[in-house]
A and B are shown apart, each in its own frame.
Chain A
Amino acid sequence: MINSLSSELIQLLKPPGLPGYENEIRSYLSTLWEPLTDVLEVSNLGSLHGVRLGRGPTPRPALLLAAHMDVIGLMTTMVDDSFLHFTSLGGIDRRILPGQAVMIHGRELLPGVIIQLPDYLNNDRKPASSRDFSNLRVDTGLPGRELNRLVRSGDLIVFDQQPFMLGDHLVGGSGLDNRASLAALTLCLKIIQKSRLHWDLWAVATVQEEISGAGAVTSAFEIEPTLAVAIDVTYGSGPGSPAHKTFPLEGGVTLGWGPDVHPALYSTFAELAEQLEIPYEMEVMPGRSGTDATVIQTSTTGVPTMVISIPIRYMHSPVEIVHMHDIVRAGRLLADFTTSLDAEFLPRLAWQP
């Protein structure tokens, strides 16, 4: 099972999906979700809504499971003779960029490489490491005239790192944030395919999470969910990262705790995880969770939200790493939660007067 799941995850890593430009991953995801859902829709901003209709009496409560499908990347800001200047879409540490192979989505698909200009060409003589992107360029190997014909300001630049396996269970590559969660959400849809649901389920692959959460908030306004779960990735422990802010790979999922999370949902998920013998850790989120939950929570008249996360190492780099067991655990937990929702669940969300 793990082998076929890791192959599916690797397939999920291949379609690009920079924030605001999620067409390719949405098409691919649609083919996966079409047989698993009753209705498949695309929102005004491009989020994919897969609906499983419940059997309970109408008006039925609605569960929203949200995982973003956009991936950080770069955007061309200027064509300067035979080199491209660029900016970032999403938070990127400049130190991972030099030497990175990329694909430029210009009038044609063009391979390129990110390079760092030598220090002696710097204007300000500051060392390269202290600079932003101003001394980085993309070289496509094309002469200036050809490059100017094929690439314009605003063209997307996608990391070109093929997915890889470190052994049988660790998958690496670019875009595990948040394709790992989409793999878990897809697994959840498969597990519950034959299950009878009381509630309506809206599986949503959101857009533009890395910029603003624009996809999650607008889908929440459209769906008006009764409650929502954001599935995202969290910091996996690894070299250079503080142990108290990270979670071990293969250590299970994290359950968010803080103002983004409704306490009754936290308890429900913690109890479910214990019943299912799924290891989990509380992930303390004192302010904003930085996930789709933050913007879903304050949509419409307010939505009880939950955050479930899968640890990945080296987040926001082209060599992110995830353990397949953690994806399976997240998928099972979501599936069990979804099938457990019935008419009696709603009172649990009521606050004490």
Chain B
Amino acid sequence: MPATQTTIIPTIGNHQFQLLERLTDACAVSGDEGAIRQIIMAELADIVDEAETDPLGNLLLIRRSQQQHPLRVMLAAHMDEVGLMLTARDGDGFFRFETIGGVNKSYLPGKLFRVGANRIPGVIGLNPFHLSEPSERQNSISIDSLRLDVGSENAGRVNPGDRAAFASCFTRMGPSLRAKALDNRVGVATLVELVRHAPPNIDLLAAFTVQEEIGGRGAQVAAYRLNPDIAMAIDCTPAYDFPSENGAKNTRYNSQLDAGPAIYIADRATLSDPRLVRHLIASAEQAGIPYQLRQPGGGGTDAGTIHLQRSGIPSISISVPGRYAHTPAGLIRIKDWENTLALLHTALSHLPSDLLATPR
């Protein structure tokens, strides 16, 4: 491998914005990721060397290296989003439901949803202000008391078992983007660009995974099948970078907007491989790309199941920081997305082929 190589670092332009808009508008609650697979295939089918949808629905795309004995690098981005599943009819157009994944239930009432394959509109409402007691309004939301309402005319077009996703609200807001399901469509959009601009020094094994929000199930079997040397999960991690109400320092921000890609050292599910942590940090510093270290603590990504496959797969996660994940309207900075893409591309392009021979 040459000591230095000139590569064109991919950037975010109109095509990428439009792709992310389509990806966030699509509904793909865990277990029903077909709409995202279609969009990705339309983007990449002509570029990849191999394409396969595995038994769980993961979309596996491979771009082969032009070099001898390249490192096999798995890049995972989950396609699914949190949402609802209808569980029972309860009257004329009303449905009981349960949540899929960590939906923030405070964000459910008063919102529009898309239900099932035909994207039937439905809403979750509340007893009106005028008819409720203050004590009722001060209770936390109980899922059991809510109903998804598709209206009497569409009641027959919707069935228990159908999934429901928040209706989309993709909007450019100055330096930011607002949309549902930025967790993890921004990761998917990033991985699409990495496949499009695959560094020639590695075998790029792209896994667009299913069912991450309910436990990284897709990534688990994708890692077994792809059998990579190294894996990186690309995701969107919460940025809780709010001012504290009493002026005290907010010490639990997890990640911050404007601070660049968030590199994981430890979360609930994974201790990142230190060699990969060092390589990502060094790559960022050499290229002058801002980065942040995600606060070690809770949370998890596809790396959680990937690194436990076979005899162990050195893994790491890198995320675009995003506010308000698992709600109808997340928010990211365009620059953080662009820097995440740039850092991954640079780090992969300069991945030493003997990285795994160095001590952890």
Contacts and interface: CB of A to CB of B under 8 A. Distances in A.
A80 interface: yes
A101 interface: yes
B126 interface: yes
A161 B151 CA distance: 18
A316 B128 contact: yes
Contacts of B318: none
Contacts of A122: 245
Contact of B137 (A94, A141, A315): A94
Contacts of A242: 127, 131
B173 A112 contact: yes
B175 A99 contact: no
Interface string B124-147: 111111111000011111000111
A240 B243 contact: no
A16 B145 CA distance: 31
B128 A166 contact: no
Contacts of B171: 101, 111
Chain A residues touching B, range: 35 or more
A129 B138 CA distance: 5
Contacts of B331: 113, 139, 141
Nearest to A137: B242
Nearest to B138: A130
A146 B109 CA distance: 31
Interface in A235-293: 235, 238-242, 245-246, 249-250, 290
B175 A141 contact: yes
B252 interface: yes
Contacts of A120: 252
A250 to B, nearest CB: 8
Contacts of B268: none
A166 B150 contact: yes
B166 to A, nearest CB: 8
Contacts of A160: 169
Contact of A167 (B126, B153, B242, B244): B153
B112 interface: yes
Contacts of B141: 95, 129
A56 interface: no
Interface residues of B, number: 62
B198 to A, nearest CB: 32
Contacts of B258: 143
B80 interface: no
Q: Which of A96, A172, A246 has the most CB of B within 10 A?
A: A96
Contacts of A101: 169, 171, 178, 328-329
Interface string A71-93: 00000000011010000000111
Nearest to A177: B128
B301 interface: no
A148 B166 CA distance: 31
A221 interface: no
A13 B240 CA distance: 35
Interface stretch (A296-304, A317-325, A342-350): A317-325
Interface string B173-194: 1111110000000000000000
A38 to B, nearest CB: 37
Contacts of B150: 166
Given A93-B137, A101-B329, A314-B126, A140 B174 contact: yes
A325 B169 CA distance: 30
B324 interface: yes
A98 interface: yes
B199 interface: no
Contact of B126 (A96, A110, A116, A249): A96
B24 to A, nearest CB: 13
Nearest to B251: A120
Interface in B234-250: 240, 242-246, 250
Contacts of B278: none
Interface string B296-328: 000000000000000000000000000110011
A110 B175 contact: no
Nearest to A130: B138
B242 A118 contact: yes
Contacts of B250: 121
A60 interface: no
Q: Which of B126, B137, B145, B147 has the most CB of A within 10 A?
A: B126
A23 interface: no
A127 B139 CA distance: 9
A313 interface: yes
A8 B237 CA distance: 43
Given A115-B324, A166-B153, A319 B123 contact: yes
Contacts of A321: 123, 125, 149, 151
23 contacts: A95-B110, A96-B109, A99-B107, A117-B242, A120-B252, A121-B244, A129-B106, A129-B139, A140-B174, A141-B173, A166-B93, A166-B121, A167-B153, A170-B152, A172-B112, A238-B127, A240-B146, A242-B127, A250-B152, A313-B149, A316-B129, A319-B123, A321-B125
Interface of B: 90-91, 93-94, 104, 106-107, 109-112, 121-132, 137-141, 145-147, 149-154, 166, 169, 171, 173-178, 240, 242-246, 250, 252, 258, 323-324, 327-329, 331, 333
Given A97-B110, A134-B245, 15 more contacts: A81-B243, A83-B242, A93-B109, A101-B178, A111-B178, A118-B242, A120-B252, A166-B121, A166-B123, A239-B147, A240-B126, A246-B131, A250-B152, A319-B110, A321-B151
Interface of A: 80-81, 83, 91-101, 110-113, 115-118, 120-123, 127-130, 134-135, 137, 139-143, 146, 160-161, 164-170, 172, 235, 238-242, 245-246, 249-250, 290, 313-319, 321
